[in-house]
């Protein structure tokens, strides 16, 4: 009975071990031949300009995050749109509630000045 559990431990250890091995192999076996070209950041083929570690304004972060959050919430609109007729009025009410919450958060972000580029 108990021997039944042994494979589980083996799987656990194997998964962790394999992951470690892959990492180690990458470090050990990977040919290391760094050249100036290779060390350049990859920018889709076009030559990079400017310093590599340029500081970007923190405002990009805030805007990007706000975008991602509101963007991801749109995920929930798709199933509703696909089943719009079958869900009927109740679905509409629920979606309205959902969007109301989103709107309130948007208003909050707006009033708090998170959307203003220059403050």
Partner 1 sequence: MTAADMLYLAPLLCLVAGGLAIMLVDAFAPKGPNAQRAELATLTTVVLVAAAGLSVALWMKGSTRGPEWITSYLATDRVALFFDVVICGGTAFAVLLAGGYLREHEMERGEFYPLVLFSAFGAIVLARSTDMLTVFIGLETMSLGVYSLVAFRRTSPRSAEGALKYFLLGSFAAAILLFGAALLYGATGHTDLAGIGAAVKSGHADTRLTVIGLLLLLVGLAFKVSAVPFHQWTPDAYEGAITPVTAFMSVAVKTAAFAVLLRVLVVAFSDPLTASVSTGWPAVFAALAALTMVVGNLAAAVQTSVKRMLAYSSIAHAGYILVAFVALPSQGESAVTAVLFYLAAYTVSNALAFGSLILIGSRGREAVSYDDLAGIGRRNPLVALPFILGMLSLMGFPPTAGFFAKYYVFSVAVQAGGGMVWLAVLGVLSSVIGAYYYLRVVVFMFMKEPKEGQTIAVPMKSGYVVIALILSAYFVLRMGLAPGAYLEWALEAAKRLV
Partner 2 sequence: MSLPVGALPLEAAPIPAFVALFAPAVAALVLAAAPALRRRGAPASWVTLTASLLATAAAVTLLVTQLREGGSHVWMASWLQINGAGVGDFGVRLDGVSATMLLVVCVVATCVQVFSLGYMHDEKPPAFGRYFAYHALFLFSMNLLVLAPDLLQLFAGWELVGATSYLLIGFYYQKPSAGQAALKAFWITKLADMGFLMALMVLYKTTGTFRWDAAVTAATATTVSGLLFFAVVGKSAQFPLHIWLPDAMEGPTPVSALLHAATMVAAGVFLIVRANPLFAHAPATRDVMLLVGSGTALFAACLALVQTDIKKVLAYSTCSQLGYMVAALGAGSVFGGFFHLATHAFFKALLFLAAGSVIHAVHSNELADMGGLRRRMPVTATTFIIGAMSLAGIPGLAGFFSKDLVLASVEGRYGWVPFGALMATAFLTAFYMGRVVFLAFFGEARGHAGHAHESGGSLLVPLLVLTVPSVALGWVAAPLAHLSGATYELHLVGVVPILAASLGLGGFALAWVVYGRGTLVVSALAPLERLVATRAVNRVYEVGYRRVLLVVADVLGWIDRYLIDGLMNFLGWSAVAGGRALRRVQTGNAQDYVFAVVLGAIALAAWGLLP
Partner 3 sequence: MELGLGHFIGLASLLFGIGAVGFLVRRNLLIQLMSIELMLNAVNLTLIAINRWMPGNHAGQVFAFFNIAIAAAGAAVGLAIVISVFRLKKSVQSDSVDLLKH
Binding site for partner 3 (CB under 8 A): 11, 15-16, 18-20, 22-23, 58, 61, 65, 68-69, 72-73, 75-76, 79
With contact defined as beta carbons under 8 Å apart, do 40 and 48 qualify?
yes
Contact flag: residue 92 with partner 1 (CB under 8 A): no
Within 1-119, residue ranges assigned H as helices are 6-29, 36-39, 58-73, 77-82, 84-111
* Interface with partner 1, residue 101, by CB under 8 A: yes
Contacts (Cβ under 8 Å, ≥6 apart) of 119: 113
Applying the rule CB under 8 A, the residues between 6 and 65 that interact with partner 2 are: 6, 8-9, 12-13, 16
Say which residue the tokens 């805030």 belong to.
62
Query: In angstroms, what is the minimal distance from the CB of 18 to partner 2?
Result: 15
User: 6 and 13 in contact (C-beta within 8 Å)?
Assistant: no
Which does residue 13 bind out of partner 2, partner 3, partner 1, none, counting CB within 5 to 8 angstroms by kind? partner 2
Alpha carbon distance, N-terminus to C-terminus of the chain? 68
* Residue among 40 and 59 whose Cβ is closer to partner 1: 59
Q: Considering CB distances under 5 to 8 angstroms, the limit depending on partner class, which of partner 2, partner 1, partner 3, none binds residue 58?
A: partner 3
């Amino acid at each position: 009975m108990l021997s039944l559990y042994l494979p589980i431990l083996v799987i656990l250890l194997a998964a962790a071990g394999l992951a470690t091995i892959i990492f180690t192999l990458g470090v050990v076996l990977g040919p290391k031949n760094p050249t100036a070209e290779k060390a350049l950041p990859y920018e889709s083929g076009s030559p990079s300009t400017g310093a590599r570690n340029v500081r970007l304004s923190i405002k990009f972060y805030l805007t990007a995050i706000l975008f991602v959050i509101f963007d991801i919430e749109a995920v929930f609109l798709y199933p509703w749109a696909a089943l719009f007729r079958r869900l009927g009025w109740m679905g509409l009410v629920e979606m309205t509630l959902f969007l109301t919450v989103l709107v309130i958060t948007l208003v909050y972000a707006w009033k708090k000045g998170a959307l203003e580029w220059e403050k």
